[in-house]
Amino acid sequence: MDVYCRICGEPWDLYTFHDIAAEQGISYNEATANFRKRGCRSTGWGHSHCVPMPKEDDGELTQAQKAGILYELLGDDMDGAAAMMEDLA
């Protein structure tokens, strides 16, 4: 399942954060917490292109905005956030 960057809306497979945690020498929970706060830039994988998504003209929320809201509501429940994002897609 995918989660999305709260800044640019880039999709990330949830399992990827196990690899990121191992590479950075941190826990999975720390890796996902960093991602929820800082987006793609927290991964250390050279995502300097992580720029805010433009707002939708039709009044709909962008994928990045949806992700930010879900992270605020669900906190560290990344499985729940991924499931809800899948339902919203």
Q: Which pLDDT value is given to residue 58?
A: 79
pLDDT at 7 over 80: yes
The tokens 């949830």 sit on which residue? 14
To the nearest 10 degrees (0 to 180), the angle between helices 63-74 and 78-88 is 140
Instruction: Return the closest-CA partner of residue 31 out of 80, 82, 46, 39.
Output: 39
Q: What is the mean pLDDT of residues 54-71?
A: 85
Q: Which pLDDT value is given to residue 87?
A: 87
Q: What is the mean pLDDT of residues 67-75?
A: 92
Q: Rounded to 5 degrees, what are φ and ψ at 2?
A: -100, 145
Q: Which pLDDT value is given to residue 48?
A: 61
Q: Which pLDDT value is given to residue 47?
A: 61
Per-residue pLDDT reduced to its tens digit, 10-59: 999 999 999 999 999 999 999 999 999 999 888 887 666 777 777 767 77
Task: Count the domains in the chain.
Answer: 1
Per-residue pLDDT reduced to its tens digit, 73-83: 998 899 999 99
What is the DSSP pairing of strand 2-4 with strand 11-13? antiparallel
Domain that holds residue 50: 2-88
